Amino acid sequence: MVNIVLVEPKIAPNTGTIGRLCVNLGASLHLVEPLGFLIDDTRLKRAGLDYWQKLAPTIWPSLEAFLEVHGDKRLWLATTKSERNYFEADFRPGDFLLFGSETEGLPERLRSALPERCIRIPMTPEGRSLNISISVGIVAYEAVRQNFATFKEMM
């Protein structure tokens, strides 16, 4: 359906939860190193429950390595530093949804290279950011909503 890309994730339980989401969505998970945890971390597997065994994430040694292979694809960059809301994006099956680390977000050099692909989740001025697991769920399910016929075929 879609590809979820976590760039330098730091918190194992967040990644475990996102892996669980990917299995339920039929989404591919891409992890861009460096990771803030080991891939066999028990906290990762606990958050992902038995779903983690059904997931075969692709591990990339760097953002550059990922972009070398997928940089010409339809990338959507989730960031708080955009004016475009995620529901204004035109998602298609096979798109790549990129999310930055919990502490730093996506690199500025990537955001400035693809400003038309930057999307945000609207929040009140009192809010600074959402947990990455929640953010991935919000954006990924909007992609499903926009492409429900394709998703329904997978069910």
Share of the chain above pLDDT 70, in %: 98
- Tens of pLDDT, residue by residue over 16-72, are 999 999 999 999 999 999 999 888 878 777 877 777 888 999 999 999 999 999 999
Share of the chain above pLDDT 90, in %: 79
| Cβ proximity of 30 and 4 under 8 Å | yes
Task: Please give the structure tokens belonging to residue 53.
Answer: 């065994």
Cα–Cα dist 147/13, whole Å: 28
Alpha helices in 35-131 (DSSP H): 42-48, 63-70, 108-113
Q: Which of 6-10, 52-56, 60-64, 97-101 has the weakest average pLDDT?
A: 52-56
Q: What pLDDT, on the 0 to 100 scale, is given for residue 155?
A: 67
> What is the CATH number that goes with domain 3-154?
3.40.1280.10
Going by C-alpha positions, the residue among 28, 124, 135 that lies closest to residue 77 is 135
| pTM score | 0.94
Provide the residue count of the chain: 155
From edge to edge, which strands make up the β-sheet containing 118-119?
A: 58-60, 28-32, 3-7, 96-99, 75-78, 118-119
